Every structure is written in C-alpha cells, then in structure tokens.
Structure 1
Amino acid sequence: MAAATKDDGARVVDLRSDTLTQPSAPMKEAMVAAPLGDDVFGEDPTVMALQEKVARLLAKEAALFVPTGTMGNLICVLNHCRIRGSEVLLGNLSHIHVWEQGGISQLGGVHPRTLKNLPDGTFSLEELRQLVRGDNPHWPVTSLVCVENTHNMVGGRVLPLSWMDELGATCRELGLPLHMDGARLLNAATALGVPAARLVRDCDSVSVCLSKGLGAPVGSVVAGTKDFIRGALRLRKALGGGMRQAGLLAAAGIYALDHGLPKLAQDHAHVRTIAQAVSDLGSKVIKVDLEGVQTNILLLECDLKYVGPEQVCKRLSEVTEEERAATGKEVIVRILPMTASSVRLVVHCNISPEDIPIVVEKLIYVIREFERE
C-alpha cells in the first residue's frame, strides 16, 4: 500500500496533546504590553497579579507562579515532605508517579507508595487506610496523599465530587495533607459545572497548568496557605525556577484564564463528537467507552487481534493513494499511543470546529481499512 508520509500538501490536525497550543496574536500583544519587574525580588507586578488571580480562583490564601507543572508538583510534594524518608500515597497511574521521572525520589528522598487507580481515576479509600504506616523505625513515614484531576491515563476523567469529599474527610481523620495535581483542573470544573475552588476545597495544595488547554505557552501555578507558599518559594529558588522578568509569561497566563477558560466546554464537545462517531461505527477493531468521555481527552481502545496502537498512529499520519482517490483529500491526524492497547487524542483551543468532521472522516476511513485487513 503506497503511502505519502510527508506533510507536504496535506492538512495536518495535531491531536497529540493540549500542550501544543500556540499563543494567539492578542495573547502576544498582552505579553508585550505587560509591566515587568524582577520576580525573584518579588517586584514583577504582572506575576503578582496572576498569583492573586489564581489564589482567588481556587479560594486559597496565596499562589506561586512556576515554570512547569512537573516543577509545581515537585515543589508541593517536597514542601509537604520535609523529612527525607517521608512517604507519599498516590495512584499507580498518576502523572507524578508515571511521567515525572521519579523526581520526588531523585531530588527529595520521598518514597512513593501506590494505590491501584480504578477506571474512573479514583482509588479505594479502604486501601488508603490500610497503606498508612504505623510508628515503626523500619518504615518510611506516611506524610502526604496525592490525586490527579482530570486524570490523564484514564482518558481525562473527572474525579467524582462525592469521592473527593470523602477523601478529604479521610485525610483529615488520618492527619495527612492532600495535594492535587490539577494540571487540567479547570477542565474538570468545566465538566462538572462547578467553581474550581469547590474541587480543591479539601486540598492543602494544588498545582494548575496554564500551558495546556488554556493556551498559554509556559507556566503553572501552585496554591495553598501563605505559610505553604513561603516554603514553596524557597523550593522554587533551589530548583532553579526563579525567572526574573517573568511577567512576560504571566501575562499569557492571565490572558489564558480570561479568554481560554470560557472555551474549554467547546473542546469537550468536540471530543464527544469524535467519540460518538467512532461508537456509532460499531467497529470490532477500535472501540470507545462513551461513559468515560468527559473532557478534552479521548482514549480509543484497540483490539490487539487486529491492530495495535503504534499501527493506528502510523496509519493516521499517512495518506495512501487509495485514500486520496476515495476521499479526494489529504489529511494527516497526529495522535499518540497511550497504553499497550490504547491511543490518545486531545482536543485544544487551536483545533477549530472545521477540523472535527475532517478528523472523524479520517478516523472512520482508517478504522474501516483495518477491518478489511
């Protein structure tokens, strides 16, 4: 099967991640116009405005701008786990555990102990209770619980609010602080139709990304009490996260919150359209769990008897001669393998409504092609 794998002349729709967003012209204008100062001296007015804005949004006492979500999570874990040999309890599929290079262990001497993530991103609170260490000199000291909302590895699902309330009560009873990796927290709030502050009411710390679906080019914000943020500031400096005239970047974050946040629901609707089309196809080769489609992430499950994730991604990145003749189009859709049997696509603010039917047509064509093989 001859294939054209180059992008030349083809329309490319890149759904690999919502980190691919490009700043819009108005966002760039806001960045250029931002008043600046030295943030390491605490003198950048635009950084301070962003931090105050996020603290209000999350109903926390204070917030701190950091370069990345990974650094934000690391700062929060290290700030809660000041004693080396501390232990954090977190889901086995969580971003902190799977995708952040074990930084909490490398740099902080913090021991991760995992709970099995359930299909909805939660974990058993009974298992949580069982894993809390007693006072024994042979064991690490259980010091923190971490959750992720939305949960990337289970397809962008939103943690149920009732479960979060129960988790918060359990952590208070156990005397353990609770940190939320809220990289896509605002997607979760949008999906539930509640203020973001409600989702982190029982969290002692939270990190929120500005550089995913909201469209900013760089940056995350961590939030908590004033005392917690004082400690986070020291850790940010130690990790090399002091960025001087960072208002240039903070201005993009402010613009993203003002203009990107109201558009997240559209991203969710686009994903639902794609998922529904795949579901309606009724394919035995590639399937979708419609119940699990809640935000801007979609997982497509491959039946490995017919096709694997790498094959699907490769085929979607090609335009065959047969396809060109049948459709009259040259379309490339970029997605990523996620697990041994699934692929992930992510819709974001740079994907237009006109892109969605094109993606659907390409997916259906490729799925039917695999069915014939």
Structure 2
Amino acid sequence: MAYVVDLRSDTVTKPTQAMKHAMVNSALGDDVYREDPTVNALESKLAALLGKQAALFVPSGTMANLIATMVHCNKRGSEAIVGNLSHIYKYEVGGAAHVAGVLLSTVANKPDGTFDLEELERRIRGDNIHEPITSMVAVENTHNVCGGKALPLKFLDDLGVVCKKYSLPLHMDGARLFNASEYLQVPARRVVRDCDSVSVCFSKGLSAPVGSALVGSCHFIEQARRVRKMLGGGMRQAGVLAGAALVALQEVVPQLALDHKRANILARTIEGMFLKSFSVDVENQHTNIVLVTISKDSSLTAEQVLQRLEQVCLAETQGDCKTTNDEGVIVKATEFDPKTIRFTLHREITDEDLWLAIMKITYVFKELHAAEK
C-alpha cells in the first residue's frame, strides 16, 4: 500500500493518547444543568486565557459563530458585516440568513485578511427606515481563504475603535486563534482584546475530536447558553469531549510552532523549484497553511494536480518518491478554487511525513510542468 500524507486540513487529526485517557477518565455530570465539572473547568480556563468573563462549550465552530450572530443581532431585520472571503459567509451554509434571519453584508477582504475600515464605516446603517440595522461586525483569525494569515494587531486595534465609535459588537471567528497568537508572538488575550465575543475551535489544529467554545461577557454567555439549547447544542455529559479539549490547550497549543515551521519549509521548497506553473507567496505565509497558485497561463487546474498527487506510477516507486516498502507516496490536499491548492500542516505530520510529501510534490509538479512545456 502507498504511504498517505494527508494535508487536506488540520481537522483530520486523531486524538492524542492523553486526550483518549482524559475522555475515558474525566469527571462527568449533566452540562445542561451546569453540573459537568470537566466542562466547567474548560470554560473557566479558556475564559481566563482569553481575558474574558465566561465561556460556553458547543459542538462546532459553525454553531459558535451562529450563536454569536443570533445573540448580537437579536432584532429581526438586523445585518452583520463580514469579509467576503470569511468562513461565516462562504462555508456556513447561509445559517445566519436561514436560521437567524440575519443579513450578511460583505466588505472585500484584502490579501492579508483585513478589509478597508473606511469602507466599513460607510456601510454601517441604522437610522434609515428602509434599511436593515447593522448589529455586528465579524473578522476571521487566522484567515483561512487568505492562506492562514494572522490579522495584524494594528488592524484589530483600529477596528476596535471603529466598532466602539458606533457601539457595534465585534465578533472574532477564532477557529485558529492560537495559530495567530503563535505567529504574532503575543498572548491570545491580546489578539482578542477588543472583541466582544470569540469562537475557538478545538478540533481544527488542536487535535481534539469534537468541540468549540464561545467566549465573552457573563451577560453574553447567558444569552448564548439559551440559544445553544434552542439549536440543540446541549450535550449533557459533555466532559468526555471537554476533557480532550483541555488536553489540547495544555499539550497541543505549545507545539503549533512546529506546524508553522514545517509549512514554511514546504512553501520555500515549492518556491525554490522555480517553476512558472506553480507559485507560493512565501513572504506572506504565516502559519500552518500553504497556498499554491497555478499560473493563469497554465492549462492545469487544481483538480488535475490533486488527482495526480493521489496517483502512484511505476516510475515513482523506482525513484526518489518511494517509501521504505517501495510502494510510493500519496499526498492529499484541498482545492480552494480552480487555480489554488491548499496544503495544511498539523500535529500528525512528522518530519519524515513532510520529507515524503516534498518528494512527491516535487516529482509531480516537475512532471506536470514539463508536460506543459
């Protein structure tokens, strides 16, 4: 069997041994009655870590973002302003509109994940009877579609000023917040300082099997708890999941720098091939995500490249791509659009896995580039 290096996402990881131990041995209770000691410990720890008053454990990041939207935009006819490339807008199945009745209005994301604050101010609405009421602004950090970029602190500080000026709640989709904290070399609480609410994912980059959390003020979390119940997010003896999330904070967060280092090695390797068909913006590669752009002049598509990366030919098993059992290497990745491929590094990718992936990617990229020529 070929050796598989799965770089599709940092959600494909399995729980660590310490997580499995915690899941079996954590103290349990009914979380809807607020009696699960492990959930309570997780919520208290995360709130303190982010400098907020309280937290709420929920099944997923999508639910966390939806709850935040429903609490902040609690009047029918409200709108939330988000980036046009944000996860809330692109990848949450229109839940804000379908479930919450909230209009998502978009501002254009820049390549670094930020957006123009002057445009944001022009888009804020509230007094005109014909228009929806702007009730929330949301950002994503790190920004997935923009290549795992950490939002600059200066932008977040200036955005906080704008939101306070108009008394608008600021929500951060912090699915990969701790990656941003690692890149910026500041505590996570500094990154979210001006945010009224933050969602954090434990299964995206942190290796826990399930779970996210919503963090904010005590008043906000009390309202969020009610909405969670409405959405079916009350999980009863949820300590079996919260235990793994606690381990993620203790065990995996300190290791995120290794994911970033390996991602940077991969990005620099692809850049160093000097192939006109494939390019990487190494200078702006921040965290554990590597975006490879296929030249617009190339006839290749991301789908074609991904299919080839998952194939093993005889020449590979006899050359530099072979594994110790001579059966070749398969690399899995994700298509972002017809001309963009995403490789995502995570805890389960070792130095050996990275080396095998680099050999395979180098072989395939050179092969496809030569075929085009």
Range class of TM-score, shorter chain:
over 0.9
* 3-state SS in 2 of match to 1:179: strand
1:89-110 Cα offsets, whole Å, 9 max, x none, are 0100000000000101001110
Match for 1:21: what amino acid?
A: T
Query: In structure 2, do the counterparts of structure 1 residues 313 and 231 end up closer, same or farther at CA, with 3 Å as the change threshold?
Result: same
Give the number of equivalent residue pairs: 365
CA distance in 2 between partners of 1:85 and 1:290 (Å): 43
2:367 alignment partner in structure 1:
369
1:45-194 equivalences under 5 Å are: 45-194=37-186
> Aligned to 2:308, which of 308, 315, 331?
315
Aligned counterpart for 2:331 among listed residues 333, 341, 358: 333
Q: Tell me the alpha carbon deviations over residues 266-306 of structure 1, each in whole angstroms, 9 at most, x when there is no partner.
A: 00000000000001111101110012210011100012424
- Tell me whether 1:297 sits opposite 2:289 in the alignment: yes
Q: For residues 25 and 186 of structure 2, what CA distance do their matches in structure 1 show?
A: 33
- Counterparts of 1:212 and 1:317, CA distance in 2: 23
Question: For residue 284 of structure 2, what is the amino acid of its counterpart?
Answer: G
Distance in 2 (CA, whole Å) between partners of 1:111 and 1:78 is 11
Supply the AA of the counterpart residue of 1:320: C
- Separation in 2, partners of 1:328, 1:121: 36
**Distance of 2:106 and 2:214 partners within structure 1:** 23
Counterpart of 1:277?
A: 269
**Structure-2 separation of matches of 1:52 and 1:303:** 48
1:32 alignment counterpart: 24
Residue 214 of structure 1 is matched in structure 2 by 206
Question: After superposition, what is the alpha-carbon deviation per residue over 1:325-368, rounded to whole angstroms, capped at 9, x for unaligned?
Answer: 33361000000101231000101111111111111111111110
The percent identity for this pair of structures is 52
Distance 1:371 1:51 in 2: 50
Deviation at 1:372, TM superposition (A): 1.1
What is the match of residue 352 of structure 1? 350
Residues 135 and 169, structure 2, Cα contact 8 Å, conserved in 1: yes
Letter of the structure 2 residue corresponding to residue 334 of structure 1: K
The answer to whether the Cα contact below 8 Å between 2:303 and 2:338 also exists between their aligned partners in 1 is no
Greater mean deviation of Cα atoms: 288-297 or 62-71: 288-297
Tell me the TM-score normalized by structure 1: 0.97
What amino acid maps onto 1:338 in structure 2?
Answer: F
**1:263 and 2:261 aligned:** no
> In structure 2, what is the Cα distance between the partners aligned to 1:165 and 1:283?
39
Q: Which moved more, 1:290-299 or 1:146-155?
A: 290-299
Q: Please list the CA deviations of residues 45-102 of structure 1 after superposition, one character each: whole Å capped at 9, or x if unmatched.
A: 0000000010011000000000000000000010001001100001000000000001
- SS across alignment from 1:52: helix
Partners of 2:18 and 2:115 lie apart in 1 by: 42
Q: Which amino acid aligns with 2:293?
A: E
Mapped partners of 1:116, 1:335: distance in 2:
26
Whether the 8 Å contact between 2:171 and 2:196 is mirrored in structure 1 is: yes
Contact 2:57 2:214 in 1 (8 A): yes
Partner-residue secondary structure (3-state), 2:330: strand
8 Å CA contact retained: 1:306, 1:370: no
TM-score w.r.t. length of structure 2: 0.97
Offset of residue 206 of structure 1:
0.3
The Cα offsets for residues 161-216 of structure 1, whole Å up to 9 and x where unpaired, read as 01100000111112111000000000000111100000100000000000011110
* Residue identity matched to 2:250: D
Task: Report the alpha carbon displacement of residue 27 of structure 1 after superposing the two structures with TM.
Answer: 1.2
Is the 1:285–1:306 Cα contact (8 Å) retained in structure 2? no
1:201 is the counterpart of 2:199: no
Matched residue SS, 2:159:
helix
Moved over 4 A (4+): none
Residue among 214, 217, 226 paired with 1:225: 217
Provide structure 2 residue ranges, at least 5 long, that are not aligned to the other structure.
323-327
- Check conservation: 2:321, 2:359, Cα contact below 8 A: no
